[in-house]
Amino acid sequence: MPNDLLSIMNNSTAHAYERTEASAPLHIVNSRDGGYELRVPLETPISLGYSRALRKLLEASDSDLAVIADEGCVLGLGGVSLQTLSLDIEVRGKLDWSLSVEGTTLLRSYAGEVSFPRRPLERVDLADVAARTIGQCDMDRIWHFVEAARDSDHGMTLVVSSDAASEAQRLGSAAFVLEPCDLDDADVQRLGAVDGAVLIDPEGRCHAFGIILDGEASGQGDPARGSRYNSAVRYQRAHPDTSFIVVVSVDGNVNLLPALRPRVSRAEVAAAVDRFCDICAQDEPDGEDYAEAHHLVRDFAFYLDADQCERVNQADEQEQQRRLDAGGIAARGPLLRPDPEMNDSYFHPDEPS
């Protein structure tokens, strides 16, 4: 892969050619291995860094005739065989392209910002967050809303609120308040195209669209993200027990708010603490046993209460001091402290406390 591939592609997609944006494939191959066919070969290959020439070739390419290049030069227009290992670049528009290998997307670049694939939002994730925020809701209808939003060709914010009726009235001066109604997929996508959020209740009925979300700044947003995402973060943190939000970005990423940590077993956390403390209490703990137990208890750090944090800290200090006394080297990390965000909702609900 060319070292400056990001610059090459951003430069080549930053401007239009004959008033159109590029939308085309580019395959980067190892020319020494073959596995490609040039239907329109260039007599003299051109440098990949020659952005205007590459831009014109992208204009001439389509799903049947791609730009073929190696790590340094564009060779012409053609195709690659299914068995050929290549870097596959799909240009969607101005400063919008993705890189994949064998059908797996490795990165997406949009407006100069690079993002990496995330695990797609699944219904089980949505159901878990819904149960831990607003409680009972019609998951079939709400999941249908989410799928429609995800299939749209624009960004959208979907707010599910147990106080949807009162929130529609409170925020309605700058929005379109509706009589509660059901929406089909096309309706969801139409209303979501309007600036602002779509507001629905736990039964999946729409109460308003074009909602401008409020909420106090909390330091929990992401300065690298846009106003859609950060306003959703502020609103949800101001209404933690009555709402959850799905944010679909224009680049296709989907975020579920709040971004809750998974539920874990209370007994499993306690067992990890006990094992670590028992190992540290030994006269000469086995190094691999210590490392494994240490990693596990650190993985559970968010879920530890004050007593468990204190036990782990004391046990680790005892082990590090033993190493120093034996002429070895101590490796002291930051002390564990209870996380203020932790509460019983992060443990499995059917487990005794």
For residues 347 and 134, what is the distance between their CA atoms, to the nearest angstrom? 17
Average pLDDT over residues 209-226: 70
Looking at residue 308, its pLDDT comes to 97
Q: What angle do CA 232, 235, 239 make, to 5 degrees?
A: 135
Strand order in the sheet with 96-101: 36-47, 73-80, 66-69, 24-28, 87-93, 96-101, 104-110, 113-115
DSSP-based three-state secondary structure for 184: coil
**Tens of pLDDT along 289-327?**
999 999 999 999 999 999 999 999 999 999 999 999 999
Q: Tokens 């932790």 belong to which residue?
A: 342
Higher pLDDT, 56 or 352: 56
Confirm if 66 and 25 have CB atoms less than 8 A apart: yes
* pTM (two decimals): 0.65
Query: Number of C-alpha atoms within 13 angstroms, CB side, residue 345?
Result: 14
**Tens of pLDDT along 89-128?**
999 888 889 999 988 888 888 888 888 777 788 999 999 9
Average pLDDT over residues 201-207: 96
DSSP string for 100-164: EETTEEEEEEETTEEE---PPP-HHHHHHHHHHHT----HHHHHHHHHHHHTSSS-EEEEEETTH
Average pLDDT over residues 135-150: 92
Looking at residue 337, its pLDDT comes to 96
Strand order in the sheet with 176-181: 176-181, 206-211, 197-200, 156-161, 243-248, 254-257
Beta strands 24-28 and 66-69, pairing class: parallel
For residues 316 and 277, what is the distance between their CA atoms, to the nearest angstrom? 8
Average pLDDT over residues 130-134: 93
C-alpha distances out from residue 177 to 205, 209, 324, 329, Å: 12, 7, 68, 66
Average pLDDT over residues 235-263: 89
Distance of CA 140 to the CA centre of its chain: 23
**Tens of pLDDT along 16-55?**
666 566 568 999 999 888 889 999 999 999 999 898 899 8
Helix axes 5-12, 51-60, angle to 10 degrees: 60
Confirm if 316 and 294 have CB atoms less than 8 A apart: yes
| CATH 3.40.1700.10 describes domain 123-257 | yes
C-alpha radius of gyration, the chain, whole number: 27
Looking at residue 152, its pLDDT comes to 85
Average pLDDT over residues 267-292: 94
Q: Which two tokens stand for residue 215?
A: 């909420």
Question: Is residue 66 pLDDT above 70, yes or no?
Answer: yes
Q: Which two tokens stand for residue 51?
A: 């952005």
Confirm if 234 and 213 have CB atoms less than 8 A apart: yes
Looking at residue 105, its pLDDT comes to 85
Distance of CA 207 to the CA centre of its chain: 28
* Domains of the chain by residue range: 5-115, 123-257, 266-345
SS3 per-residue string spanning 41-88: EEEEEEECCCHHHHHHHHHHCECCEEEEECCCEEEEEEEECCCCCCEE
Question: Is residue 62 pLDDT above 70, yes or no?
Answer: yes
Looking at residue 227, its pLDDT comes to 74
154 — pLDDT class (breaks 50, 70, 90) = confident
For residues 347 and 353, what is the distance between their CA atoms, to the nearest angstrom? 9
Higher pLDDT, 15 or 27: 27
- Listed in sequence order, the residues at least 6 apart from 214 whose beta carbon sits closer than 8 Å to its beta carbon are 171, 231, 234, 235, 238
Question: Is residue 223 pLDDT above 70, yes or no?
Answer: no
353 — pLDDT class (breaks 50, 70, 90) = low
Q: What angle do CA 325, 329, 331 make, to 5 degrees?
A: 115
Question: Is residue 351 pLDDT above 80, yes or no?
Answer: no
Looking at residue 220, its pLDDT comes to 59
